[in-house]
Amino acid sequence: MLQHQERSDAAALQCRKLAEQAALRFLLNGYLRETGQFDPRVNRRDGSRDQAFAAALPRTGKVILGRFSYFSLAGQHAYREAFHVRDMSAEDGAIPLGTDRLIDMLLTEVSCLGPRADRQARKREMLEQIACSIRRTSLYLEFASCRESRQEAALSYIGSEQSLRYGHTFHPTPKSSEGFTEEELAQYAPELGASFRLQYVAVSQELVEEQWIDPYEPLPETVREAVRRLGPLAQGYTAIPVHPWQWTYVQGNRHVQRLLEQGKLVDLGRMGAVVYPTSSVRTVWDPEEGMFYKLPLHVRITHFIRENTPEQVRRTMDAAVIVKRLSEEADELEAKEGLRILPELGYRTIRLNDVPWSEREQLMASFAVIYRQGKPLTGQGGDPCYALASLLEEAPGSTEPLLFTAIRQSAGGSLPDWDMWLSRYIDLTALPLLRLFAHSGISLEAHLQNSLLRLERGLPSRFYVRDLEGISVSAEHADRHGWTKELVSADSPVLYPAAEAWLRLQYYYVVNHLGTLVPTICRCAGREEAAYWQIVRNRLEQHRSEAQRGEPLHALLTDLLGRQTLPAKANFISRFQQRGETPDYVDIPNPISDSEVKR
């Protein structure tokens, strides 16, 4: 028993250490990127992986010294454990620097970019959220360690959705979740393998607001159970699923209490099939129905409350209408390259017209559920698809990302020729995304967490993009296609100037998506990153040569290959300045530009 306890304590300490190292890595990489220190190596001619660096903190007059264990052209650096600090004005006198002190120094430096008056308050708030993120990352890693020791089944789709333990690699608080208690995490956190039944509430039809792009009918068993629980009221009510945590929260609202007393809302309790929270926490997957429910959840996850505001719902539905029209008129979304967009079918919420707009809006956001079709992910046999973000993380105790596990599982135990694998991946993902934008002006938010990948014999075979709320559509294209006359209004929040929609595609796909995938493969497979960015460039150049001059696709590829910089979100500084929902962008070196790949 004592030996078991010692092993458990040792595992917990190791998981805490991994969580702290990840937090520090994300903060330091974010700081370097957002302050333009793209290559802080002391000797840039040194070709080894273990290289010394010096990161300047000019506003506080310090220099952080350490060593990279992996230097990344995309900024995804990994670090040795030892760090030191010295004054900028000194040549020597460096002293050791622990994790807590280093994080404090980075926050102090960033605080100097804002007003003096609220620096300390914002710093304290950020430190608390970083500490929360570290605690919860450590907890998730401990759970993963226990699951590994039990030698559970092979990686599955649900397993991949629930294995994102570190989160966004350029975010200062990727696993902060203010609102959940530790006990509630065990019930609802995907990282802890949660599953549960949804709460249902019956809403008097006069209060229902809804819009449907495609009809949706729940499984007959769910309908029958709702009718049984409603009894004679069944004809005049509509059932809405609610996250169980959210139902407890909204019952404190005085309008909800009044509606319950009046019988216009009826608590149906938990029912329906077991659902699984996905990597976004509030979106759940119902494998029996083949349906995702994007549910409101009044919990601050990373940096903002995850409810479905009227504007976000409108964005989603406007995007869904455009995607639906495009899929009916052209083969853009069923391209031979393998892109699929998971369609949003509609939404449902409650609307009270007899309350002030701000309270009405809050109630709508608190109940709005968006229904997303997931049937393409089910019933196809062979290898499952996977949530891509988690595939690029390493399980505790492993030196390989889950991508390698999934490939071995699919390919009978072997890993691929990575040159060929990456070339195929670029053909599968980049070409249809760029073609879609070139011809239709639709810029998909294809960041890692919105991307799903299916493998066949270890090779990429199908690419899915989800969550239409993040789509941006070129207003110029929308006018040209007649969408602003027939489908959406000219002031739709889904419409952007063409240049901004193009910027968003560059960030979400090239910077966020490829900018994590390529360094992960190279770091873990022992490959040179510049050579693999050259593979990306070669494939894009090949596609450009196959496009006709003057075609939109040719122009996009020429721009992407020729530009020296790409846009990246400044999540660290923006989050500190409490602008996390609308972060600034900074320019970073384009790793596929000719000057970068030949460095």
Q: What does the domain layout of the chain look like in residue ranges?
A: 2-156, 195-375, 379-597
- In the three-class reduction of DSSP (H, G, I as helix; E, B as strand; rest coil), residue 292 is classed as strand
| Fold match between domain 2-156 and domain 379-597 | no
Q: 31-35, 401-405, 548-552, 570-574: which range is least confident on average? A: 548-552
Q: Is 80 exposed, middle or buried (0-12, 13-18, 19+ CB in 10 A)?
A: middle
Would you state the pLDDT for residue 1?
Answer: 43
Task: Identify the band that residue 4 occupies on the pLDDT scale cut at 50, 70 and 90.
Answer: very low
Q: How many residues does the chain have?
A: 599
pLDDT, one tens digit per residue, over 452-504 is: 999 999 999 999 999 999 999 999 999 999 999 999 999 999 999 999 999 99
Cβ neighbours of residue 268 closer than 8 Å, sequence gap 6 or more: 199, 200, 201, 202, 226, 229, 230, 239
Q: Per-residue pLDDT for 292 more than 60?
A: yes
> What tokens were used for 283?
């979106």
Would you state the pLDDT for residue 153?
Answer: 60
pLDDT, one tens digit per residue, over 96-119 is: 999 999 999 999 999 998 888 889
Would you state the pLDDT for residue 266?
Answer: 94
Can you name the residues that pair with 210 across neighbouring β-strands? 348
Cβ neighbours of residue 481 closer than 8 Å, sequence gap 6 or more: 440, 441
Would you state the pLDDT for residue 579?
Answer: 85
Task: Please give the model's pTM, rounded to 2 decimal places.
Answer: 0.94
Q: Per-residue pLDDT for 263 more than 80?
A: yes
More confident residue, 165 or 222: 165
Domain 2-156 bears CATH identifier 3.40.50: no
Would you state the pLDDT for residue 381?
Answer: 55
Q: Per-residue pLDDT for 598 more than 80?
A: no
3-state helix, strand, coil in the chain (%, to 5): 50, 20, 30
Roughly how many angstroms between the first and final C-alpha of the chain, as a whole number? Answer: 56
DSSP string covering 298-359 = EEEETTEEE---HHHHHHHHHHHHHHHHHHHH-SGGG-TT-EEEPPEEEEEEE--TTS-HHH
Would you state the pLDDT for residue 118?
Answer: 87
Would you state the pLDDT for residue 597?
Answer: 52
Average pLDDT of 61-75?
A: 96
Would you state the pLDDT for residue 2?
Answer: 42
Average pLDDT for the chain: 92
Q: 138-152, 161-175, 488-502, 570-584: which range is least confident on average? A: 138-152
Q: Which fold has domain 379-597?
A: Transferase(Phosphotransferase); domain 1 (1.10.510)
CA 90 → CA 44, 87, 109, distances in Å?
A: 22, 5, 18
* Phi, psi torsion values for 92, nearest 5 degrees: -140, -165
Q: Is 389 exposed, middle or buried (0-12, 13-18, 19+ CB in 10 A)?
A: buried
Structural contact between residues 364 and 355, judged by C-beta atoms closer than 8 angstroms: no
pLDDT above 70 coverage of the chain, percent: 94
Average pLDDT of 168-193?
A: 94
* Phi, psi torsion values for 423, nearest 5 degrees: -60, -45
CA–CA gap between residue 74 and residue 545 (Å, rounded): 26
More confident residue, 64 or 149: 64
Strand ranges (DSSP E) for 339-432? 339-341, 344-350, 369-373, 385-387
CA–CA gap between residue 218 and residue 204 (Å, rounded): 18
Would you state the pLDDT for residue 152?
Answer: 54
Tell how far CA 128 is from the center of its chain.
22
CA 213 → CA 330, 347, 493, distances in Å?
A: 18, 9, 18
